[in-house]
Structure 1
Amino acid sequence: MVLGAAQPSFPTPPTDAPTIDFPVPSAGPNPGGGSAPSIAPVPPTGSNGKPVRPPGVGAPPLPRSVNVQLKVERDGSLTVREQVIVQARQTMTRTAPLRIGDRVFTVRDPRVDGSGTAAVEGDNLVLRLGEGASTVQYTVDGAVEDLGDHQRFRWQVASGWDSKLVLVRGSLLTPRRGSNFTCLAGAANTEDRCESALTDGGSVLRVVQSNLDAGARVDLAADLPAGTVPANARFEAAGTTAAAFALTPLSGTGLGVALLLLLAGFAVLWRARSRDAAALGADVEPVELLDSAAGRAVFASPDGVLPGQVGTVVDERVDPRDLSATVVDLAVRNYLWITEVDGDWQLVRRNPADDALSGYERTVYTALLPEGTESVRLSALRATPPDVSAVRAAVYGDAVAHDWFGRKPTGLGPLVIAGIVVFALGAALTVLLGVVGGPALLGVALAVVGVGLVLGGRLMPVRTERGSVLLQQIRGVHTYLNTADPDSVAAADREVVFSRGLPYAVALDDAEQWLTRFGALDSAADGAPGLYWYATQDPVAATDQQRFTEQFRAFLTGLDEVFAKA
């Protein structure tokens, strides 16, 4: 709406119009000393010489009448006081728009003295009043616009009432005398002038409008001298993307919270990655797999980690070599028996899978020897590799259950899934608020948090703090496997040390040097020739450690091929 710049003309009231005394400032102290009367304003007069009174001024209160007092404060805010008379046994509601075209007003501290409520709801000031007289007070920001050589005041004295108003009276008081007053009354976007808009001798603009239709407005504008008050008018392109994405206190708070969450997440991510990097790069001491108890070698792995889990903790994936290490470990622990048969190898069921086996070990055992199968040849496994997809899932599940991993390395992970959900909600909220003209930056902030969760979930180390500690211990085991001296172990215990350490050497790709170091092992030193978990049909070869080393390398290569194909 474009408000006229020129002062409107108003019809001359009839000569018998009711009269009213204009307020005349009382005499005050003379700045120069003594007492002198203030200048008495002279109200406008008619052709008969009698003062002209604005219509309705001084009339008794009428049901469905509104008296509005406006005062522009020196800080640029506008204080409003509305006195509303509601007819008995009826109610009146005002839904005053706070967005008029591109102009945006802000109302604060609304309150009602009487029967009713006042509140800001979205882009509207809503007054709900009951019967009788009520006084509504509130403060408006955004009523004064700076136009360079002058300022422009604007506010709708009345608007959005759900009832026809019998009489609307209004007054405007400004710190400095205004000019070019414009008062429009009627439906929005119409240019009909108010019935009366006159300035009294005290420089107070008084407007009167009778029989204002429901939903119509009384729109008041005035020019003020430049610099009268701090200008605070705010403009937003209504219904456009720019308005929806404007930075407001609410959307700014949302973006600030999102930034804090991202910074906190970055700090957590940085700490976790630094911890993991330290576990991979720190110097470690050898960690022995066997301890001495009652004069005998007793096996003890760090945190109970199994050979098939060792490689997974190190590189966060299940490799064929990890599964091969598990098969060797099952043989060493007397669940399987490995024997040479006509240039091939046969895996024989020795003891059934029991509760001493972990979930993934039972899965490997069942994959190799299903129920009812007593033995299987390596060549048969090469021809028809077993399904080990469940084995990999079980290894990852065991690592999570032991709190070595915070999530499974495969798949999206809970943090990534949460991030995708949050991002989708943020994107939907952005679109919705953008359409309705709301603070769409809140949706953007939520979407940014979602992206942060996705990136954090992908960059966050899979290993937990406990897993990082175990990683250092595994590196210590690796050092032990490369430095252990067979001569420091009693001859009767060397077979146990060699056998229990071999699956870990396989998992850590140290089998070659482990086999070489124990190449002079006398397998008969424990009272029985040959290894207790590996057999050959050649009686001479049973005690030939060098031949066993060559055959075991070939067996291990074949086993790796089986799991690689699977």
Structure 2
Amino acid sequence: MIRPVHTRSSAPAVVLGRPRRVVALLALLLLAVGLLAGPTARDAHAEGTASRVVAVGNLAKDGTLKVTETITFDGSAPGEVTQKFETLQNLVGDRQYRTTVRDVGATAGGAPVTPQVSTEGRYTTVTVATNGASEIVISYTVDGAVVTVPDGTALQWRMLQGLDLTVTSFQARVLIPGTFTYVRCTAGAPNSSTPCLSAAAGTEDATTPTFTDGPRGEGEVVGVDIGFPAGEVAANEKIEYRWTVGRAFSPDPLPLGIAVGLLVLGGLALLLAHRRRGADAAFKGEAAPVGQFVPVGPGQSEFRVVGDVRPGHVGTVADERVDPIDVTATLVDLAVRGHLLITELPRPSAYGRADWTLTRTGDGEGLRPFEQRLLEGIAPDGSPVKVSEIGARVHGAIGGVQDALYDEVVANGWYARRPDVVRSRGMQLAFGVLMGAVVVTALLAAFTTFGLVGLALVILGLGLILVAQEAPARTSKGVALLQGLGALRSDLMTQPTDQMPPGRAVDELSEVLPYAIVLGGSDRWLDALAATDTDAAPDPEDLDWYHGPDDWHLRDLPESLRNFTTTVSGTLFTR
């Protein structure tokens, strides 16, 4: 016995009564419209309507589906019929089903015709010439239409789809190789979930699922879904995967495990590289003094430089770089030692820009190579030069000053190799590794699910950049000097500033100032210099290394020197 699985109900039309005169008038109007539009309507109907489509499917136990589709035309047949089969179905997530339509054949009026078959993207298109026949038959074989479902398998295929015709009536039946568990059918637009007109199957003598529907518009579908118990019909689904970010960087155990392993091993390798190439030599417990405050009387002390370590050396050893503040502190040190005179010029107005002249003094005896290059870059002919004008002339000299400083820290045994060269080579290698990691990540993400492995490589590349920045390693002598710099910085921050010997306070405080500029604590030593101004008279030339305008006081030095330091640093290193 055949039992219906579902039906789609319809309601009869209801006609409302009208007065006879109105009905007669409407009848005349309809007749006139029909006479005018009749030929056009008949042609459109004949060229775009199939009165009946009957599809018969034969499902094998291996999941292969063979379909024979008979299309009967209402009126004259169109010149050709085109049917598009959608062979790619998106699923939840990044999966998609791929089906294959093959072995396409056709007849027109019982005579064989050669169909035109093309595949592009997600569609296989079949075009059949009708040769004027009122009936054509399209046959094809489908692979991949039987999918795995809970508790078994299921045939999921659109028995009607992609026709460039409207269909008045559709019927389908599927011959199956065994028992089924359910029968379903949907109709309408390709993604519709609306049930078709009827879907039925028998449990005794008539076990063939049958389906009916109609009318259907151009391109609309009737899809069947027939379930089978496990082992009845083999699944032949073809699952493909779309590219998604989640799939490209899949957290599955294998790619995640490889990524974590790379991070662990790579991190250990970076740590080892840092210890071997970037870590300073071990400190042996004896700091190399740079400068110290030596008692010279009760409550009195003077500052003495130990080992001829210049302020430019101090900054380079402390942070492995030649910074603007190192060069500025060197200028102040040269002035204090008598090789340069800094003269503050009167401002053109109360809000005018401050400016200074730099004048070379002395015979240059005792200058280190980097100091000599700096002076030659500022005032090569010995004539005074304004700070506002030195930018263009010293930009080219700064590179030489830095080179000389780096050479000296190596010659003095504080570094085994020039810090800038080691850092530059390390950064080139690190950026090369990072760029390679980015390319590998892009390829892995585009073609595999191992994007996390690429991200791990990128992280390691970034880590290598950090290691490269710290790569310059100090020797044991350099470490001892660094400890001495730390001790001097502590003294500069804590040493009382009012314990300089009477009569020599200005000179002693001036000697401290360049080291305080580069190590810290300059404000308190500048304030100490300002505190030596105990009279109301101007002090334009009381300092032999810094002169001011005629109304300048020594108590103005803190603000003047802060402006000088800021201006010179910006002028020397800004293009």
Query: Does the pair score TM above 0.5?
Result: no
Normalising by structure 1, what TM-score?
0.42
Normalising by structure 2, what TM-score?
0.42
